[in-house]
Amino acid sequence: MSSAAFFDLDKTLMQGSSGFQFARAAREAGVISRRQLASDALANLRYRLHGASDAQSEELRERIAASLTGVRVRDLERLAVRVLQGILPRLYPQMLTIAYEHQDAGRQVYIVTAAAQGLADVLARVLTFDGGLGSHLSEVHDGVYTGNVTGTFLYGEAKAVAIRELAAREGIDLEECYAYSDSVSDVPMLRAVGHPVVVNPDAELLKVAQEGGWEVLRLDRLARKLLLAGAALVAASASAATVAVLHATNQRAEPASR
């Protein structure tokens, strides 16, 4: 039997959220409003710092599906180039190196993501991976999205089901496989393989990883940078305030000039 390596996309293969890159491309094409883009930008920052809950992820799926109402499938496919322009610069070189090392060792490499199946397919081809597993976000009628949520949303347990089905079709031994993810929501996928690896783990996943003795990789330093920047700003403000107080005190202490 063969083996494989499965990679989550957001905060694992890349910094931040592919969903935001899709939203930005959709805004440029006039599919969504500037206000919706700003909302997705804020959600993306929160996601990078804290991860996303099941409810938040489902809400995002429903919002994306609704935003597609009346959009032609062909028009959305044409967004692929713009979306890739946002994703490719945010890929972690270290993770690509790991993925290619798996391929060179004879393992198949797959992206497993809650993002749309079309994006998973395109990105897998561009990165020369062996394939991608993604979500179906909206039903289609006569080549147009209806906005109604349909199909499988590859999130949580659904990812584990998807890779088990793939393994059965391709003759893959999951005990010999690797899986990489950042989120506790992907614990089912990580537990489905013999070699789970956590990347930029959220607090809950880190606890699971430590209990299971799983490998931990840390690549994203945004949270640390923001904390350090905030601390520096506070320190600078305090320093400036101290100087101002001392200056005012000295001014009061000096005799008035004649």
- Token digits of residue 63: 């919002």
- Token digits of residue 187: 């614990």
Q: Give the whole-angstrom CA distance, residue 72 versus residue 145.
A: 6
b or e along 94-133 (b: 16 or more beta carbons within 10 Å of the residue's beta carbon)? ebbebbeebeeeebbbbbbbbbbbbbbbbbbeebebbbbb
For 11-55, the DSSP string reads: TTTBSS-HHHHHHHHHHHTTSS-HHHHHHHHHHHHHHHHH---HH
Q: Give the whole-angstrom CA distance, residue 235 versus residue 209.
A: 36
Q: Residue with structure tokens 């799926």? A: 61
Three-state DSSP state, 156: coil
Q: Which position among 8, 40, 202, 220 bears the catalytic label?
A: 8
104 included as an active-site residue: no
Report the 10 Å Cβ neighbour count for 210: 12
75 included as an active-site residue: no
Q: Which residues are catalytic?
A: 8, 10
